[in-house]
Amino acid sequence: MEINSRFIFYSDQKSVLCVARDITSRKAYQNKLLLQNEFFGQLFEKSPSAIAMIDNDDRVMRVNEAFCDLFEYSQLEVEGHLINDLVVSQAFKEEGQQYSEKTLGGGCVHSETYRMSKSGKLIPVSVLAYPVISKDQKIALLCNLH
């Protein structure tokens, strides 16, 4: 129940106007949305695959724990940085740029390749990268590396 009240003048007398509204369905919807957000958040965070969420400028918005473990970075070290600057070695820069252009253009990438850890170690990975679209607008890219 949601109750709103305020003072008003009614027939030249100061009065209180109260409006009560049943918000059961709104609360149920909010709880369902919260559970859904928690579910997908944990899918992202707890996945054994390294996952990076990339913005429309190819910069890291968020990575999961598996990404940090695989590439030897902390979340804070990668946020806001270009993904290719972090995990693509010089030998694979052209390929990394092509993958970025394809996914930023709305396409998907699925490939076997190599990426580089913070310490410079080359890691064989399977890349699956694709745009996340909401209401016909690309809002992010997901890059799954395993």
Domain regions of the chain by residue span: 1-46, 48-146
- Give Cα 135 distance to the centre of its chain: 16
16-30, 58-72, 128-142: range with lowest mean pLDDT: 128-142
Q: Are 96 and 88 in contact (CB under 8 A)?
A: yes
pLDDT of residue 47: 92
Phi, psi angle pair for 128, to nearest 5°: -130, 110
Nearest in space to 20 (alpha carbons), one of 1, 46, 45, 41: 1
Residue 88 in tokens? 């693509």
87-132 pLDDT, tens digit per residue, is 999 999 999 999 999 998 989 999 999 999 999 999 999 999 999 8
Q: Which residue has the higher pLDDT, 108 or 136?
A: 108
The residues pairing with 54 across neighbouring beta strands, listed in sequence order, are 60, 141
Instruction: Tell whether the model's pLDDT for residue 141 goes beyond 80.
Output: no
CATH 3.30.450.20 at 48-146, yes or no: yes
Residue 68 in tokens? 């940090």
pLDDT of residue 145: 74
pLDDT of residue 139: 75
Phi, psi angle pair for 76, to nearest 5°: -65, -35
Q: How confident is the model at residue 85 (pLDDT cuts 50, 70, 90)?
A: very high
3-45 pLDDT, tens digit per residue, is 999 999 888 899 999 999 999 999 999 999 999 989 988 988 9
**Residue count of the chain:** 146
Q: How confident is the model at residue 57 (pLDDT cuts 50, 70, 90)?
A: very high
